[in-house]
A = this chain, B = another copy of it.
């Protein structure tokens, strides 16, 4: 950490800051300039609340100079993490993973039709919601366990792995027999108790970036899972909230290469939530792939306009099949396979 003192700071103020830093277990090196004094603190500052120092008399700014996460950092596993799934699919390696399915599981026909389509297009993962977080209490809230059963059956019949959203700790036990990967939604990215509980589970976690979360906060949230002993975390860029309204969210495509640089964890992009508009999904899926994403997550439905939720951003099955064919060419162009 660095503490930059104000130009007018007195020696007493500087001393008091040095003492406070040392009490926090930090070694302090002082640089006295003509106008300004700078205190460089070296030591274990990851768990430290730096704002504590910002308000001390005479302090101008406090800067953190090391990343506040450790296990999620690229240095922890420079070669990158590759996560293997029971059906033989993987994320984080040479192969681009395709994760597709409906926003919500609705019935047997729907989910089997979709599973066959995903399989046919060469995808390895079936996604679908059994528990739905909805902003309005008057909207459809999901099928629950019967939905999970249907999805598991449809996925296994087609050699697919299952990805589904967990909304609270009590659902982990219930979902465990049915899913291969727990998805944590954007609204729960900082539900730290849930993250901690998932740290003790032996299945991968797909962690979505919160709608106003920074890249650093996403990595800190992944650290909750990693520090519990579960090293199989997939980071998901799904759009952030900005002033622009021509798309539902603003997809932060640059977060993909930034995350790949800062962390060893696989990165998945979700152009469906990222744009909220079916007609923009293909362009953004291609962009994410070109920018270095390891996987793509897309909402698809045989009757997209009648989907019980997220209809506007859901691809029809033929649109999805065509898109995967186009993505395959781009994957080759960036040295990947699909």
Contact = CB atoms under 8 A, between A and B. Distances in A.
Interface of A: 2, 4, 7-8, 20, 27, 29, 31, 33-36, 38, 40, 42-43, 46-47, 49, 51-52, 54-56, 60-61, 63, 65-66, 68-69, 75, 133-139, 167-170, 187-188, 190-194, 196, 210-212, 214-217, 220-221, 223-224, 227, 240-247, 250-258, 261-262, 274-280, 283-284, 286-292, 304-313, 326, 329-330, 332-334
A312 B51 contact: yes
B309 A280 contact: no
20 contacts: A2-B65, A4-B65, A31-B42, A34-B42, A49-B311, A51-B310, A52-B306, A54-B277, A55-B277, A135-B220, A167-B193, A169-B170, A216-B246, A242-B243, A242-B250, A243-B243, A244-B252, A246-B255, A253-B284, A329-B333
B251 A254 contact: yes
A68 B136 contact: yes
Given A214-B246, A247-B258, A286 B334 contact: yes
In the A-B complex, the 5 residue pairs with the closest CB atoms: A212-B212, A33-B42, A51-B312, A47-B138, A4-B65
Given A247-B254, A283-B254, A137 B242 contact: no
A223 B277 CA distance: 26
A30 to B, nearest CB: 9
